[in-house]
Amino acid sequence: MALFSSKPKEAAPSLPVHVGIIMDGNGRWAKKRGLPRKAGHVEGAKTFRTIVRYCSEVGIKYLTVYAFSTENWKRPSDEVSALMKLFKSYLEEAITDFRDDNIVIRFIGDKSGFSPELQKLMDDNEECARDRSGMVLNIAMNYGSRDEIVRAVKSISRDVKSGALGEDDINAELISSRLYTAGQPDPDLIIRPSGEYRISNFMLWQSAYTEFVIMNKLWPDFKKSDLDEALAIYAQRSRRYGGV
């Protein structure tokens, strides 16, 4: 029996408003089965579709998934090439695949690192979902949190130089407003499958008071029941934000 109903409902007090997921373990999943790493990415994409819809169904308001980091370009060229082809196939399908889902799609990260064809597909997906009112899905592609913070600082410094901002105007709220997630609440919960105890340059600024759940399961094997377990663990946490 699921710990949380799969029927749409209002977010309960114990349900996180914003969940982040570091989708990790595709390559190891494939290696364990004697398959090429790209096979793990294909299976991981299937899991992504399932978990995104489930998060929407249980009442999560914001979901941010880590799909491709700024460091992932360092992987073998054949794997990066396979990933780009997978992204293209997924983005083409997503326009119709998520057509009937009330999910707002946003891409966070430096889109300019991708081919013009991929950039257009990202824009098309965002445009198709623009008028929806349901869960906001942030797909982090060519995303790195240090790069995100550097970009925010440069943006603020330009405004200071032009006189639009003064030194006393710079505070945490201003920095947050210059991040890719501007206007969104910080993540309440970040889930990392695969058993690795690293944040991997994911939402460093936003996760100052985030609860973390590490799960010893590779991403392609991640099920709805695993999300239920993570949400149940989160519901038992006492969040004090530095207080008593």
d(CA 192, CA 189): 10
Q: Residue 114: what residue type? A: F
| Identified catalytic residue from 26, 72, 171, 221 | 72
d(CA 44, CA 23): 8
Instruction: List beta partners, residue 135.
Output: 103
Instruction: List beta partners, residue 141.
Output: 68
Signed CA dihedral, 153, 155, 160, 164: sign only: negative
CB 17 within 8 A of CB 62: yes
Backbone angles phi, psi at 23, to 5 degrees: -80, 90
Q: Give the torsion through C-alpha atoms of 60, 23, 215, 98, to 10 deg.
A: 40
CB 62 within 8 A of CB 184: yes
Q: Residue 174: what residue type? A: L
Query: Both tokens of residue 192?
Result: 């990392």
Is 24 one of the annotated active-site residues of the chain?
A: yes
| Identified catalytic residue from 24, 101, 188, 226 | 24
d(CA 49, CA 39): 16
Is 124 one of the annotated active-site residues of the chain?
A: no
d(CA 65, CA 23): 7
Residues classed as catalytic: 24, 72
